[in-house]
Amino acid sequence: MTIKGKAFIAGAYEHPDRIIPDKSLSQVSAEIVLGALADAGLGLSDVDGLLCAGDTPGFGAISLANYLGLKNLSYLDSTETGGSSYVLHVGHAAMAIAEGKCKVALIVLAGLPRQSGFYGVSHGQPPELGFEEPFGLTIPSGYALAAKRHMYEYGTTSTQLAEIKVAASHHAQYNPNALLQKRVTVEEVLESPMISDPLHRLDCCVITDGGGALVVVAPEIARALVRHCPKVLGHGEAPKYATNGRIDLTFTGAVYSGPRAFAEAGVSVGDIDYASIYDSFTITVLETIEDLGFCEKGQGGRFVEDGTLQAPYGKLPLNTDGGGLCNNHPAFRGGMTKVIEAVRQLRGEANREVQVPDCEIALAHGTGGFLGTRHGSATLILGREDA
């Protein structure tokens, strides 16, 4: 059983707004859903699969289906793995389609954190709570613990981390919807206020309202649509946590999810023309690049120097929408926009200045949760419709 070639992404839509003061969450979800379906050339009545995660309040997929009035649903999936959920959902949608459970699957992310601060649902008290919560661990400080240890083991520097933000800002200057469109220098990153040593403010992603949606369809539907529909080639997923309390902060779950995705897709890192890699913080990108095999473990700092990540001519054009660091990180969850920009690149519809020439194979990777404690990891490999 493989999902390779058995599902296609027919619709992808990113909400154009980054600050939304005057709409309800469900209203924003509906705008996003209609946008993605219009992009695909499909309608609400065509949808028979619905996938969403912890950003969807209430009864998850049931509440959302109820609001949207979806009448033909035969597959539901509310798998929650934080910001990686939507990358993972593409794999789950493809599996459901391959097994004949649905033909048109909708994946939805929406949030209004600038209104509400809502991170997503949390059910009860997890068993680790007492051993983490009382010590003032914030989200940035967990990533800072990882960065500090990576620096200690491999000699990674703040300047190297800053290169990742510089590349994101280089791309964001061409994205008229990006929250931060100004190019920044390494010096500006290093001079920005320290949030949690060694991470500066400009090592951290933006906080934005909005979201996005994807429409994943069966091959016969993709063939009938006018739109270019990138092909799902493979996906991998895994949790990463502190194995019996012996946490290793220097690697991510990409060491597990990456090889699974590459094996299913039948491609290697050298085949990847474009990569969307989760950039909640600069250190997230650096560790993930190593873990996916784009360079040797510990060499991420050197790899990102000299414009490696800058489109269109860098060795590994990365997050050409400006990523979470500059463009958008809706609902504190970056996985959706990672897939959307990969779809744009494969369609040749990225912003002109950052479009990778002849982009055939793209990778999207999500890291949902926290490098400092535990996270979900999902890797997705897509190809052009004719790949």
Partner 1 sequence: MTPDWLPSPTPDVNAETRAFWESAAHGVFLLKRCQDCDVVIWYPRELCPECGRMNTEWFAASGRGSIYSYTINHRGEGAYKDASPFVVAYVELEEGPRVLTNIVDADLNSLAIGDAVEVVFTGAGEGTALFRFRPVAT
Q: Evaluate the CA torsion angle 265, 266, 272, 278 in order and state its sign.
A: positive
- Tell me which residue has tokens 């008290």: 125
Q: How far apart are the C-alpha atoms of 247 and 156, rounded to whole Å?
A: 19
Nearer to partner 1, 69 or 127 (CB): 127
Residue 361 is classified by DSSP as E
Residue at token pair 């909640």: 280
C-beta closer to partner 1: residue 128 or 353: 128
Nearest residue (CB) to partner 1, 128 versus 306: 128
Shortest spacing between CB 246 and partner 1, in angstroms:
6
Helix crossing, 282-291 with 139-154: angle to 10°? 50
Cβ 335 vs Cβ 85: under 8 Å: yes
Whether 292 contacts 271, CB under 8 Å? no
Taking the complex as a whole, how short is the minimal distance between the CB of residue 252 and partner 1, in angstroms? 15
- Helical packing angle, 61-68 and 25-40, nearest 10°: 70
**Is-contact 187 69, C-beta < 8 A?**
no
Nearer to partner 1, 160 or 310 (CB): 160
Nearer residue to partner 1 within complex by CB, 64 or 325: 325
For residues 125 and 352, which CB has a smaller minimum distance to partner 1 in the complex? 125
Alpha-helical (H) ranges within the chain are 25-40, 61-68, 85-98, 113-116, 139-154, 158-172, 186-191, 219-224, 254-265, 282-291, 300-303, 335-347
CB of 54 to partner 1, least distance (A): 20
First to last CA, the chain: 19
- Site of interaction with partner 1 (CB under 8 A): 125, 127-138, 140-141, 144-146, 148-149, 152, 193-199, 242-247, 249, 373
Please state the separation of Cα 68 from the chain's center in Å. Answer: 24
Which of 69/117 has CB closer to partner 1?
117
Is the CB of residue 305 less than 8 Å from the CB of residue 327?
A: no
Q: How far is the CB of 286 from partner 1 (least distance, A)?
A: 15
Nearer to partner 1, 13 or 332 (CB): 332
Residue 117: how many other CB atoms lie within 10 Å: 9
Least distance between partner 1 and beta carbon 331 (Å): 18
Rounded to a whole number of angstroms, the minimum distance from the CB of residue 182 to partner 1 is 23
Residue 1 vs 125, nearer CB to partner 1: 125
Laid out side by side, the sheet with 210-217 consists of 75-77, 49-51, 104-111, 210-217, 8-14, 231-240, 375-383, 361-369, 274-277
CB of 243 to partner 1, least distance (A): 8
Indicate the burial class of 124 (C-beta count within 10 angstroms; 0-12, 13-18, 19 or more): exposed
Chain position carrying tokens 């949690």 = 196
Nearer to partner 1, 132 or 360 (CB): 132
Q: How far is the CB of 256 from partner 1 (least distance, A)?
A: 17
Considering the complex, what minimum distance in angstroms separates the CB of residue 133 from partner 1?
Answer: 7
